[in-house]
Structure 1
């Protein structure tokens, strides 16, 4: 069975008031992360990116100025996912943004299954206090690609590695 492991970068924390500015996804098949296909798109937001958000992910207004809008990118992402289960770290955050965007753009889609690696971490490591992606990665000896922390594909790759590891051990 294939899973889509995805991550978003946003302009803030509110699915209703903030924008998705990057979507990245990788496919997992059985016990492997597939090299291809992968999904990666920058998205032009409806308003300027706040400096606080840029401090986290490094994405600037100039990076997304010529990017397509979410109205174009979201259907491409949903087509990439298709009928596969989706996996994300703190999936409620990411799916909240996806669902709010779908409502705004009149799209309907429900994945057959949503899997949260933060919840898997809580089951796998019940005595640990932190289950943030950085903490899970450190605990499992995983490394983000150079310069890719808080970028959608880099975070999706580490989330996929964590998913594969914890799925075998939970």
Structure 2
């Protein structure tokens, strides 16, 4: 499981400001196996990028908070090692996976998880008559709650995404995939 917070919506122009991840092993969430870090966003040339006010309003991560954080060039190899050859799950995998692919390519690294699973797609299958499938609505629908201050922060979002994933697989009658199991 993983979640990103970013400076905007474009993997080519915007930067990652936070990564949160945890493992689901045999259908169980293992919060002892976690990855969580702020990231100082940088441009393609490695210069520090400022977090726009509209992005700060969403996730609450300020330029001061990331001023001493490692850059994506420092963080991404560690995160790729954490993921290893496992599959990954994200809420809206196209967004998070797009940022991972773009950043990996920019750094000469490879983003090749064994599989990519999306809780938005699982939600659509589990609740086909519902129109909204964002994480807040899905959490409410499944009776899940975010830790105080956890919504729109990577680790808070990934905790709820993991819980939603496990419940959605149960609702859909599927065996739990272990997307980030230990190697």
User: How does the TM-score come out when normalised to structure 1?
Assistant: 0.96
2:18 pairs with one of 22, 28, 43: 22
Distance in 2 (CA, whole Å) between partners of 1:94 and 1:115 is: 11
Gapped runs of 5+ residues in structure 1?
A: none
Q: Give yes or no for contact 2:100–2:111 (8 Å, CA) kept in 1.
A: no
Runs of 4+ in structure 1 displaced over 6 angstroms?
A: none
Cα drift, residue 163 of structure 1? 0.2
The answer to whether structure 1 residue 13 and structure 2 residue 9 are counterparts is yes
1:139 pairs with one of 138, 141, 154: 141
**Mapping 1:34-73, distance limit 5 Å:** 34-46=30-42, 47-73=49-75
1:129 pairs with one of 128, 131, 136: 131
Q: Give yes or no for contact 2:19–2:37 (8 Å, CA) kept in 1.
A: yes
Distance in 2 (CA, whole Å) between partners of 1:72 and 1:156 is: 22
Cα drift, residue 31 of structure 1? 2.6
Gapped runs of 5+ residues in structure 2?
A: 43-48, 173-183
Q: Secondary structure at the match of 1:44?
A: coil
Q: Could you say which residue in structure 1 is the equivalent of 2:45?
A: none
2:92 pairs with one of 70, 90, 93: 90
Distance in 2 (CA, whole Å) between partners of 1:148 and 1:163 is: 17
Distance in 1 (CA, whole Å) between partners of 2:114 and 2:72 is: 23
Q: Secondary structure at the match of 2:41?
A: coil
Cα drift, residue 145 of structure 1? 0.7
User: How does the TM-score come out when normalised to structure 2?
Assistant: 0.89
Provide the aligned C-alpha RMSD in A: 0.6
